[in-house]
Structure 1
Amino acid sequence: MRVQRFLRSAITLHSPNSLGRVAPPGGSGVMAVNTAPRVLSSTFGEGERSLMALANSEEEKRVARQAKLFEDLLVFEGGAVADHDSLGSRMILREFLHFCMYHRKWGYYPKLYRKYRELMTTGYFDPIPFGSLRSQHDYELYVGKLHETTPGFVTPTQVFQPFYGWVLAEYMLGVMRAKFDPSEPLVVYDVGAGTGALANNVLDFLAEHYPEVYEKTEYHVIEMNPMLITPLRNRLVHHYHHTKIHNMSFLNWRQHDPRRCFVIGLELLSGMPHDSVVWSADGTCSEQWFDFIQPDNLSSCIERFHNIKDPMILRYLRYLGWLQEESFHALKVLCVTGGRENIDPGRWSSWEPNMHDPLHLIMTKMMNIHNPFRTAWIPTASMVMFEMMAEYLPRHHSFFADWSRVQAGLGGFNGPLVQSKMRLAKDFYVRRASETLNSNAGMVDICFPTDFDHLQDVYRKICGDHKEIVNMTHPEFWRTFGGDKTSLFMAKSGYNPITEDFKLFQVFSTHHPAER
């Protein structure tokens, strides 16, 4: 229809009856007749041929746009994960997880920082005296005491501070020498900065050892927990000329920055909301939702499974290659058939058990829903972050470090670890794991493992093949870039936790190629 309207309007403009009509000098809408001679028919024939060529090229562009639109499947629908003011009556899993962990009133992290404000904002503890530890046994006892006396969960950046920030600063300087123009500043986006320990260590190191780089440094601290904004300002006050603090979700970043920059996320991917996909033996694929019997009541949530239709889930599956479609055929079948891979009717009228089903069918459905071999947890929020980075930070260099596997996780591919800390005495906390996702929603921490091979495929599909990707374990990163600072963590017996432990901790870094 668009091409037909385009042809009709174009032929009207070039028709012999319209060639003599021009607008009057006064600019009114009344058309006047021009007394100029008509254009020769040969000229009109050439114009018609060029017009048809233009129409054909526009038709090709339209077909390409339609194919891209169907391929992207409404890229901007669903957008970023929002901070809901109300639960409402139903939520998809990623929104439910975002609500449980980050909501300003009921979320796990804001509540934790409100309850233990002093303990959670003072940096937890002083640097560990590795040189005075005798062996691995002493190190494990020391770290165990830290876990027992801290209401939150201790991260590797806190265990190895301030040296972790020093090595990361030297790593960024090495990338700048290889990729940046000498006149370009150092621009850093620290996502999920927490209490600002890493940002403070990086900026202190630059100010002391590389003052010429520090003078041109622009450090953006992005933290969505409102309880941490004041501690961040207090900790980074002596770097206020080079620091900008943003109280927002990085998924909602909409400021375009064409400069080269670093995006840093340490233990960020494990805390980002995921979705859950379940498929049955007949090829029916479903997505997980939560319905609420009482609105805004987390304890009344019920798991529901609906045919897969969410655009963000379908987009992730296409990026990953789980939907290997030619001419988008498989994706069309999924949309038309309500989540089934073929047009044959499903074995069951509904994926979930209902009161009219016989007992054996109810048991079969329950076994399929909770079967760990038919459940996958997919990082849709991480995908949205990559899409945002590709659009608004096109020349970014990224550094993500996170867990590749977790112990005692829920069933399924990349199942999360659901855990909390209980206070048994004044300064004594013990860790407790949960076997269900929604039993204590808003009261537990949820840590997802990251499949870095899948993450690399998704990142390359979104950000392009021109990006250089380095995927290595945490000990390999420190052996490569740590240098002499690696020996700072060695005990008297020769045991070094940063190279011998943290084998499940992995580093994912990407680089924008240097312009010639």
Structure 2
Amino acid sequence: MRHFGSLLSRACTRRRLALHFHPDHTSTPARSFSSTLPTHKAKAKGTTSPFRSGQSEDKINYNQEIFFDERPDPEYVNYARVNANDLEGNKEPPRRVKMLVRDFIEDSLYNPHYGYFPKQATIFTPTETTIDFNSLKDEAHFQDEVARRYATYGKDRDGPGRQIWHTPTELFKPYYGQAMAQCIVSEYLLKYFPYEDLVIYEIGAGNGTLALDILDYLRDQYPEVYERTHYNIVEISGRLAHMQREKLQPTHPCIKVTHKSIFHWNKREPAPCFFVAMEVVDNFAHDMIRYDYRTLEPYQGLITIDDNGEFGMYYTRVTDPLISSFLALRRRLGHPPPLPALLRSSTLRSLYTNLPFAPNLSVPEYIPTRLLSLLRTLRTHFPRHRLLLSDFSSLPDTIPGVNAPVVQTRFQNTTIPCSTLFVRQGYFDIFFPTHFGRLREMYEHVLEQPDVLAGSPTGADSGRALPLATSASALSSGKNFFSSYQPRNRRLPVDGVASASGLPVGERKSSVFTHAEFLETYADLSKTQLCNGENPLLDYYQNVKFLF
């Protein structure tokens, strides 16, 4: 890894210029789509790649950058089309393949043999006791304390540094987890206790700290609830799943850890449950699309990897069912394509595309297709869930594009953001912001769709009747008996399931909260207040929001 610094500096400042459309496996003549930014920087020569010894040129993160179109390897039309599932058995990053952008991101982050999370990521977990916030003078003192604990991990030497990142769960433990527990138990006591058990599902539980803090709080503050709690973790990383079992199960036997991707979940949970996703969806894979300025037709981006591991990019008409579904849902919800206001006019678009060197494709847009997969999974397999989700609503240092991600790594104890998605698989974190207003609209719309699985939500398919289920006729058949008015902040009632009042009133719809708003409601702020009155639990993570 001697030359990692040289490689990284180029990876973070250069990006491939020429991007092309080709009708994948068709006989239609190719149409070339290029970007617009000219550059006169040439690729450095004679640099040895730290990832492939014995080669004279580093071709991992960039190609020659010239003003005119540069087509990918003409052999790419014969490359095997793969997805992230196909690559799970690979010991090394693949060659001579092509895939959608979301599959490239999933493979880079989650491949069990070389992915970022299974092999590189380390969650900041201080081994010392909880930070005594009340004894710290101010936020500068708090930052010094955090830096001191970071220093216990040691200094990076050669190659990519230890990929350490922190979460509010770890930084403010146990008080952050206690706030999540208070949110869940308040809703549970109001709606389900004592008729139903408390069932919690958490995805991406990391080191298990959030689960530990929630269960410790329930055990100490609500023992009657803790006795009937079932906590389920769904973890894609085998390493983290093993860590979670060792850390949690000896103390809390109600914990069950399932080593599986949530996208492969196939078991139905008929009971009311809480579904927790904290700092998870930012690492969900996105697809890349661009719009033809002349027709506004979308094109899906595919990444190619040649014999030397060099990346290329080309575009085809949208054929992927998940991308098509997302775009159709966006049209249904009235979310317009991310085009400049002046280019929404067909006349102005025509004038613009006829200008010298004008692009014929819009800037790349990254669409949250895997987030849509999660919403569908919740609708199908967790029909009576309540979602508690938190993540970044905005991010600095993103790569170019709409809703673009941050691509970064640590080198010599410094976090370095890159300007391209074309980076070595497994060595870089890739994470996205979430548009919470649009997420809420998508989520509520998906939940309104008919259940695609056979079987009643009353629990017959699980072999037991649920206490709040009814064997009477569907509530929806009489939902207008009391009133024809359906509140806009309530969902339609679920057939066969009575509400706490026994009336056909649907669940309250989800709401979006800022980080501070949510924690002001559920956290014990006296525990994280500093001597001068500042409170980092409220002041930090201002670019984070909650959906609940």
Superposition TM-score, scaled by structure 1 size: 0.69
Aligned residue for 2:120, secondary structure, equals: helix
Alignment of 1:109-148 (within 5 A): 109-112=117-120, 126-147=129-150
Quick one: which of 201, 205, 212 aligns to 2:213? 201
Kept in 2, the 8 Å contact 1:80–1:381? The answer is no
Alignment of 1:15-26 (within 5 A): none
In the alignment, which residue of structure 1 is the partner of 2:20? none
Measure, in 2, the Cα distance between the counterparts of 1:251 and 1:392.
Answer: 11
Kept in 1, the 8 Å contact 2:408–2:415? The answer is yes
In the alignment, which residue of structure 1 is the partner of 2:88? 84
Aligned residue for 2:271, secondary structure, equals: coil
Kept in 2, the 8 Å contact 1:290–1:301? The answer is yes
- Cα distance, 1:85 vs structure 2: 2.8
Measure, in 1, the Cα distance between the counterparts of 2:150 and 2:198.
Answer: 35
Alignment of 1:65-76 (within 5 A): none
Aligned length, in residue pairs: 384
Aligned residue for 1:194, secondary structure, equals: coil
Measure, in 1, the Cα distance between the counterparts of 2:222 and 2:285.
Answer: 38
Distance 1:163 1:475, change over 3 A: same
In the alignment, which residue of structure 2 is the partner of 1:384? 373
In the alignment, which residue of structure 2 is the partner of 1:257? 269
Aligned residue for 1:406, secondary structure, equals: coil
Quick one: which of 214, 218, 222 aligns to 1:210? 222
Quick one: which of 429, 438, 442 aligns to 2:422? 438
In the alignment, which residue of structure 1 is the partner of 2:108? 100
Quick one: which of 489, 505, 508 aligns to 2:544? 505
Corresponding letter in the other structure for 1:456: R
- Cα distance, 1:109 vs structure 2: 1.2
Corresponding letter in the other structure for 1:479: E
Measure, in 2, the Cα distance between the counterparts of 1:183 and 1:83.
Answer: 45
Aligned residue for 1:259, secondary structure, equals: coil
Measure, in 1, the Cα distance between the counterparts of 2:423 and 2:443.
Answer: 33
Measure, in 2, the Cα distance between the counterparts of 1:322 and 1:106.
Answer: 39
- Cα distance, 1:247 vs structure 2: 0.7
For structure 2, the residue ranges without an aligned partner over 5 or more in a row are: 1-81, 154-161, 337-343, 449-490, 493-506
Aligned residue for 1:287, secondary structure, equals: strand
Measure, in 1, the Cα distance between the counterparts of 2:274 and 2:87.
Answer: 26
- The C-alpha deviation readout for 1:120-176, integer Å capped at 9, x for no partner, is 596565422211211121122333444565541111111111111111111111101
Aligned residue for 1:138, secondary structure, equals: helix
Kept in 2, the 8 Å contact 1:409–1:416? The answer is yes
Measure, in 1, the Cα distance between the counterparts of 2:327 and 2:85.
Answer: 18
Corresponding letter in the other structure for 2:532: S
In the alignment, which residue of structure 1 is the partner of 2:391? 402
**Most deviating of 136-145 and 200-209:** 136-145
Quick one: which of 504, 510, 521 aligns to 1:469? 510
Measure, in 1, the Cα distance between the counterparts of 2:128 and 2:419.
Answer: 31
Kept in 1, the 8 Å contact 2:282–2:392? The answer is yes
For structure 1, the residue ranges without an aligned partner over 5 or more in a row are: 1-77, 331-340, 352-359, 510-516
Quick one: which of 304, 321, 324 aligns to 1:311? 321
**Most deviating of 443-452 and 149-158:** 149-158
Measure, in 2, the Cα distance between the counterparts of 1:231 and 1:457.
Answer: 36
In the alignment, which residue of structure 2 is the partner of 1:302? 312
Measure, in 2, the Cα distance between the counterparts of 1:375 and 1:121.
Answer: 33
RMSD, matched Cα: 3.0
- The C-alpha deviation readout for 1:153-205, integer Å capped at 9, x for no partner, is 11111111111111111111110122225220011111000110111111111
Q: Does residue 194 of structure 2 align to residue 182 of structure 1?
A: yes
Kept in 1, the 8 Å contact 2:110–2:118? The answer is yes
Corresponding letter in the other structure for 2:199: V
In the alignment, which residue of structure 2 is the partner of 1:289? 302
Quick one: which of 521, 525, 538 aligns to 1:480? 521
Structure number with greater Rg is 1
Aligned residue for 1:291, secondary structure, equals: strand
- The C-alpha deviation readout for 1:24-59, integer Å capped at 9, x for no partner, is xxxxxxxxxxxxxxxxxxxxxxxxxxxxxxxxxxxx
- The C-alpha deviation readout for 1:467-491, integer Å capped at 9, x for no partner, is 5111110100011222xx1121111
Bigger helix share = 1
Kept in 2, the 8 Å contact 1:109–1:225? The answer is yes
- Cα distance, 1:239 vs structure 2: 3.7
